[in-house]
Every structure is written in C-alpha cells, then in structure tokens.
Amino acid sequence: MTLDDSVHAHRLRVMARAHALSNVTRACQEAGISRTLFYLLAMPVN
C-alpha cells in the first residue's frame, strides 16, 4: 500500500464515520483531526 492509498483510505473511513454518526465533530474527535482538516479532506480531488 502506498502513502497515497493510505491517505485515501483514511479519508474514506473518516467520511463514512461522520455519515454513520451524523456528527462531523464527533467523527473528527475520534479520528484525532480538526473539523477544518475534515472539510479540506471532503473537497473533491482533481
């Protein structure tokens, strides 16, 4: 697994957890990231 693959997998896990909880703040706390970073990760990748 490359670093890019690992980052992509982490991004998907955090997004899925936020969806499952219906709570971005809680998902970010569990993942140890800021909400700012969450929303940066949520931006589409070109």
Mean pLDDT of the chain: 92
pLDDT score for 45? 65
Cα–Cα distances in angstroms (integers) from residue 17 to residues 9, 10, 24, 30, 46, in the given order: 12, 11, 8, 9, 23
> pTM for the full model?
0.80
Mean pLDDT of 7-22: 94
pLDDT of 44 higher than 90 = no
pLDDT band for position 20 (cuts 50, 70, 90): very high
pLDDT score for 41? 86
pLDDT of 21 higher than 90 = yes
